[in-house]
Structure 1
Amino acid sequence: MYLADQTWPDLGDYVASESVAVVPLGSTEQHGPHLPLSTDHVIAESLAREVADRTGFLCTPTVNVGVSPHHRQFHGTMWVDAPQFRDYVESLTRNLTYHGVDRVVYVNAHGGNVQHLREVGRRLRDDREAYCVEWMWDESIPELVEELFETPGPHGGPKETSMLLHLDREHVREDRIEDAATGGCRRFPEDADTIRHGASTFYDAIDNTDNGVLGDQRDASAEKGERLFEAATAQLVQLLEWVDAQPFEDLMPKPHVE
């Protein structure tokens, strides 16, 4: 069920019997010369709306701009600073709790959001307002990613390229995939030369890759993207069913030991 398509009486019926919502979050940032800036939020929204259709759980509108200052040197990248992002997501989630939702899965497709979503989840759990957990699609299916790609890359690589070929092929510049592969950093961090003596000496994506991408995009295909999408969707369905089945008290912080 997609929240924005419903009337308020319809949503009243939902919160009378259900207490779970999914919130998709991504970014609007560079993904190399071949993928649109919408890559992350397209993936997040597609997964969230698919599981909402399959399970009947509530899906909110997507948070399209995330914590992306590390991509700022590339044209068009948008970002919000981390404190404002955390406060916004917390406020949005408290809005859901006001209407009766007390379990939220953040369907996330941008690595820069991860730690901040975890912090928001901790705040709300400590306040006993809600149980909120961050979920990252590729981290739910590591075996399949490893099976499909020799060099998947953490950003703009073949796994994200495959997902976009499956979900939004119209906006993939397929004629630039070769340039993306040859102009980026194929193996990270081995080829980046920015890990020294145990320290990550980089702060921005451009410190590692001239064209903004990591991995070998030539491994991508729409068929692989469909496999990734279906496998990740299955994992998300199982997570939502688990969250829904837990007694609320079991999801709250444990008491101090005596």
Structure 2
Amino acid sequence: MYLADEAWPDLQRYFRQESLALIPLGSTEQHGPHLPESTDHVIAESLAREAAARTGYLCTPTVNVGVSRHHRQFPGTMWVSPDAFRTYVRELTENLTYHGIDRVVYVNAHGGNVDALREVAKDLHADGTCYALEWMWDESIPGLVDELFEHNGPHGGPKETAMLQHLTDRVHEDRLAEARDGGTRDIWNASGTSQNGAATYFDARDNSENGVFGDQTDATAEKGEQLFEAATEQLVELSEWLAAREETALTPADRVGSAR
């Protein structure tokens, strides 16, 4: 069920029967010369809406702009501060709790959002507002990602390229070699990323001239379909697990020594 497509009486029936919502979140930022700036939010929304269709749970509209200041040197990148993002996500979540939702999955497709989402989830849990979980699609299927790609990358690499090849027609197929050759193929072994255990970079451009990492020529729509199906299965299982949990298991533990 997609919230924005429904009339309020139908949503009222949902809120009376169910207590879980999926909130997709991504970014609008550079993804190299070959991918659209919508990459992250297209992936997040596609996964959330597919999981909602398979389970009947509620999917909200997508948060399209996230914590992306580290991509600002590339034209078109949009971002908000971590403080603004946390406030927005918390208030958006509180909208849902007003209607009766008490458990939420943040369906995330942008690494820059992770810390802020986890902090919001901790705060919502601590004050008893609801039980929220941050879920990052590629972190749910690391074995498959490693199996499919020899040179993956944390941003604009073959996994995101393959997903967009499967989901859209917006990939510049003629620029895949350019993306690989103008970026950083193996960020994990690149020099100049740390000094004595301290990270020495802040922005994507510090480590990649064109802003992306990995070997994009290794991506195919068929691999993207494998990733999409595997990640959707993980999200469906997580949603069903969370929906089935007893309410008492979702509240903060009592202080040590206190009586229930």
Aligned to 2:189, the other structure's residue is in SS state coil
Measure the CA separation in 1 of the matches of 2:191 and 2:126.
40
Counterpart of 2:177, as a letter, is E
Question: How far 1:241 moved relative to its partner?
Answer: 0.4
Post-superposition Cα deviations, 1:179-234, rounded to whole Å, max 9, x if no partner, equal 00111001113125221211100000000000000111011000000000000000
Q: In the alignment, what sits opposite 1:140?
A: 140
Q: In the alignment, what sits opposite 2:120?
A: 120
Measure the CA separation in 1 of the matches of 2:190 and 2:118.
30
1:81 has 2:81 as partner: yes
Post-superposition Cα deviations, 1:111-142, rounded to whole Å, max 9, x if no partner, equal 00001001111111111110000000000000
Counterpart of 1:222, as a letter, is A
Q: In the alignment, what sits opposite 1:239?
A: 238
Measure the CA separation in 2 of the matches of 1:193 and 1:156.
20
1:91 has 2:97 as partner: no
TM-score (normalizing by structure 2): 0.98
Aligned to 2:153, the other structure's residue is in SS state coil
Q: In the alignment, what sits opposite 1:180?
A: 179
Aligned to 1:107, the other structure's residue is in SS state strand
| Cα pair 1:152 1:159 within 8 Å, conserved | yes
Measure the CA separation in 1 of the matches of 2:157 and 2:189.
15
- Number of residue pairs the alignment of both structures matches: 257
Q: In the alignment, what sits opposite 1:43?
A: 43
Aligned to 2:252, the other structure's residue is in SS state coil
Question: How far 1:251 moved relative to its partner?
Answer: 1.4
| Cα pair 1:4 1:60 within 8 Å, conserved | yes
Counterpart of 2:217, as a letter, is R
Question: How far 1:248 moved relative to its partner?
Answer: 1.5
TM-score (normalizing by structure 1): 0.99
Unaligned runs of 5+ in 2: none
| Cα pair 1:192 1:208 within 8 Å, conserved | no
Counterpart of 2:255, as a letter, is H
| Cα pair 1:192 1:209 within 8 Å, conserved | no
Measure the CA separation in 2 of the matches of 1:256 and 1:109.
35
Measure the CA separation in 1 of the matches of 2:142 and 2:83.
30
1:215 has 2:214 as partner: yes
Measure the CA separation in 1 of the matches of 2:195 and 2:219.
31
Runs of 4+ residues deviating >6 angstroms: none
Question: How far 1:153 moved relative to its partner?
Answer: 0.3
Measure the CA separation in 1 of the matches of 2:152 and 2:248.
39
Unaligned runs of 5+ in 1: none
| Cα pair 1:185 1:192 within 8 Å, conserved | no
Measure the CA separation in 2 of the matches of 1:192 and 1:166.
33
Q: In the alignment, what sits opposite 2:25?
A: 25
| Cα pair 2:192 2:200 within 8 Å, conserved | no
Q: In the alignment, what sits opposite 1:249?
A: 248
| Cα pair 1:23 1:60 within 8 Å, conserved | yes
Aligned to 1:189, the other structure's residue is in SS state helix
Aligned to 2:187, the other structure's residue is in SS state coil
| Cα pair 1:94 1:129 within 8 Å, conserved | yes
Identity %: 66
Aligned to 2:132, the other structure's residue is in SS state strand
The alignment yields a C-alpha RMSD, in angstroms, of 0.7
1:200 has 2:196 as partner: no
Counterpart of 1:99, as a letter, is H
| Cα pair 1:28 1:79 within 8 Å, conserved | yes
Measure the CA separation in 1 of the matches of 2:10 and 2:164.
33
| Cα pair 1:189 1:195 within 8 Å, conserved | no
Counterpart of 1:211, as a letter, is N
| Cα pair 1:103 1:132 within 8 Å, conserved | yes
Measure the CA separation in 2 of the matches of 1:174 and 1:195.
33
Q: In the alignment, what sits opposite 2:66?
A: 66
